[in-house]
Structure 1
Amino acid sequence: MNLRSEDRSILKDWFLYLKLIITGLAKIPSFSRNLYRGVRMNLATKYQNGETVIWWAFSSCTTTKEVLKQDAFCGSKGERTIFEINCYSGKDVREYSKFPSESEVLLIAATQFRVVSNVNKGDGLIVIQLEETEPKYPLIEKGSMKRPIHVPKTVQPTDIPLEPVFDASSRNPEIVRQIKRTQFRSKVVIEGQRLNREDMRDVVENVIIKKQCPQIQIRDAEMTIESISELGRGIRESTTVNEVDLCGSRLSSNDISHLVGELSIPQTHTVEQWKCCGLTRMKTLDGGPLKVLNLAKNNIDDDGVNHIVGLLRLKRTLIELYLNDNQIGDAGVEKLATALSHPAAALQKLYLQDNKRITDRSVKSLTEMFEKSQSLNTLWLLNCGLTDNGKQELSEAAGLKRGFYLNIERFAY
């Protein structure tokens, strides 16, 4: 219980053990994705919306909600609380676990969260959504583990056109400074910046390739087609990038075609696996091992979905795709449903909420996808153009698919 205490002074006897554990975990790359943790009690009153909470202990989580339904964990009856956690510092310990089937991810002690939602699902089940946040001051010394590095938004004049013209010879000084500050294998967050081809080339060469940063977040940015293509090349040539977030960057379907065009070029890399006594063993890695792609809040329409579907067929590593708040309609949904119905499809989570052009015409293709898809386990369709009848039909169809999570109203069915 001492490890769970907010009073860290009582941990003095444990310091050397904690340092050993944290030093070891620091050697495992952090990654960003949704995790799940469950307990057999009702914790609704301890987690209020908007509050900041800190988990002082090391917390074992899983990437698969189905694990929590086992009796050894939460089970499916009685009082229980399931945490849905959006984190960026999880440590994937499956390779080191005695039970790899549990898909275990470890959260470091003193991890801070914001409570996003707290929902009573009935039948004793409470679902609490948490989002990892960075504390104002360090709560625990985490060795060499890197925190996200943020580039502040720059204030732009209000009369900047939607399609800005860049001076190809110029460099964004904020990007240059950020590249110099970036640590090896840290998450990089660039917000509200203008990037031309040369800026993006600097990011690719010095951040994605040289510093092997696994997570690239470029939000609310203004990019040229050339800079978008440059980013695609960088992802393709990397062996470490597993998450790319381009939310709110005004990307059109034409922009997506250039990004996907680069990502679709097959590329492998031969690297040294080990070397001993004059012998060397090499191994081959695929370029661009992308797992999570966030294209939310852009200007992608059904034509853009054509390119994305092509990427899904080629990138079997891609398991999470965010397309919410775009201009996608029924034709785009049908294309996605067809692609995900294929036996070889690998995508697990698809987010389509806030696409107002999705109507009841998509119900048929989606229900057929529920029956055929072997990989997809999560679909969000909040705030679309569906009628109550359409929502009900989809909810009933999703209810027949074991382990499927459909969020079509405020709450998930």
Structure 2
Amino acid sequence: MMNRFGDIDCSFKELTPVYGYVSAELVTIEKALQPIESQISNLPYFIKIAKRYCRYPSKHGLTHDESASIYIYTMEWGEQTLYRVLNQTLRNENRHLLKVWFPYMKLFDTALNKLPTVREVVWRGVSEDIGKNFTKNQTITWWTINSCSLSVNVIKGFLGNEKHSTMFLIEAVNGKKVSGYTELESEDEIILKMGTEFRIKSDAMEHPKGSYHVHLIEIDEKAPSVPSEPDAPMFKKNTIFIQGLPSTMPKQLLFDTLWDEFSTVGRIKIDKENKKPCIDLYRRETNEAQLSDYAEITFKKEEAVAEAIKKYDQMHVPMLNNAQIGVKQSEMKSGVLRQANSQVLTKPVSHLPELVPLMSISVSSLTNPVPPPSKPKWGKWKQNAITVAGGNGQGHELNQLNWPQGIFSDKKKHVLIADYGNHRIVEWKYNAIEGQIIAGGNGKGDRMDQLNHPTDVIVDQQNHSIIITDQENRRVIQWLNQKQQILIENIGCYGLAMDKNGFLYVSDRKKNEVRRWKMNEYNNEGVIVAGENGKGDQLNQLNSPTFIFVDKEQSVYISDHHNHRVMKWRRGAKQGRIVAGGNGERSNLNQLSSPAGVIVDDLGQIYVADSSNHRVMRWCEGKEEGEIVVGGNGEGSQSNQLDYPCGLSFDDEQNLYVSDRLNHRIQKFEIIL
């Protein structure tokens, strides 16, 4: 029997992302679904049912129509059930068919965004043996709306006694808890939005009756990576339980901490002989946390385990006063997990069915508890900047700048500036009243000691040199102690970036692409990492790319200047994703106008110089709109104003530097601690 928990696309198609609905007008559910009435019989009747029985008023602030949009999505009435028709369309390669759905998708997405985001393990299942199609470290995208459940028993109930089935365990990061707004609250439903990407944790586990178990991890750059499993012998099928957790217990922190602590005192490994996975993380709302099926931990010494537990206790006193740890086992070999003579491990847990006592936590003798670490806060900056370079009018003196573009700040808070109109690179040391010319400055020209409108500059830490995009000379040039070397020629260069491996990335504004070169191998054409499909506004195209940034995963962020958007191209991708702007050229919070400098912080937040709007914006990937970080007070020269900002840079204290182009100065916005 088809159900939305098993409505899974297993075609592995590469489809164009859907985002046009974001700009649709927010209307009533009747008006939103009016264009769909020809596709679904008696749709007005089902809309009335949804509005009558949906949860309204809503404690999460959903309107009546928003609540009804979720309820009707979860209703079942046959082959023409709304979720089936919608998801079939989302799987269709003809994306134009989705336009009639945009008003409903806008209403539905607005409703989801008001609901709590959950970071939980969730489940899906399908009555087909498709597990063999999923291989370790493969990346997949589910283009549909994805209904999941917090309860594995709900999925088992739908699968019944099917011999050939596939169960998906998903470590969700951005799930939306719709339970309470659905037709059946007992289904514990979590929705993962359309276009969610996953990494396959390990090869599918095959069960004797032809069914499969697939472990997926939602891709999220801000999430901590899972530590690798160190080598060790292991046995079969033990499950570590932690019972009696309070409902307020931060389960993600619990698992992170337990993993960190136990990995130092014990060894964990997959069962290679039976090809079974190692650690599955379960996070349930039944106040029961569970570590793993088909895995076992062999501890080095009992005293070390005791210390690990004690250290963890000190972080969470008194939250674990009544918590207990035990091991459920189907096969227990002699001496594998021994009771220890430690004070922490001697108190047995209460008897539970099929639970063998292992250890319990006692915190009565512990003192000086340490509170759990708080989540990192998004930075805020003082709105009145300090001028750290230039600011003395447009000119060529050492205390002046002329249309500064790209900038680079180092650990000493020195700032390198591509002084575009003066055809030079200038370094301003911390608190200096004038700059020092370190490249060019010999007039406009194409000699080796000259530059012609440089646009960007970076430091090559390994070679102790600077690299410059010499735009009008169509070359990328390296300067080292007044010695020059042309690295790349005949290129419409503009922006520069270097990744952790020393690969050099250059945006080509003429060819509308970004290329990458391996260090010291610049005598070739490089590798195209974004673009190559001509000028345009499709997801596989760029239109005058300028500044770029490369993150630790070698994803490239590109200011797509004339498309008024910032694109992110993952390593090896055939097309990019819009992560900022892309909604036309205006000044609304979901728009950009001629974006310039772009940088990304350690939390994955994207900062972009919204040049023609005279402001710097911050966007979080996946959000519909950004927020103004600095500027946004109109075009001007006051300390809280910018005039066509261009380059961006952070120092090691997260102070923000902005090249204020038409004010011919570099502004430093100090972070508020």
Assess same fold via TM > 0.5: no
Q: Which has the larger radius of gyration?
A: 2
Which has the larger helix fraction?
1
TM-score between the two structures when normalised by the length of structure 1: 0.40
Relative CO higher for 1 or 2, CA cutoff 8 Å, sep ≥ 6? Answer: 1
TM-score between the two structures when normalised by the length of structure 2: 0.26
Which has the larger strand fraction?
2
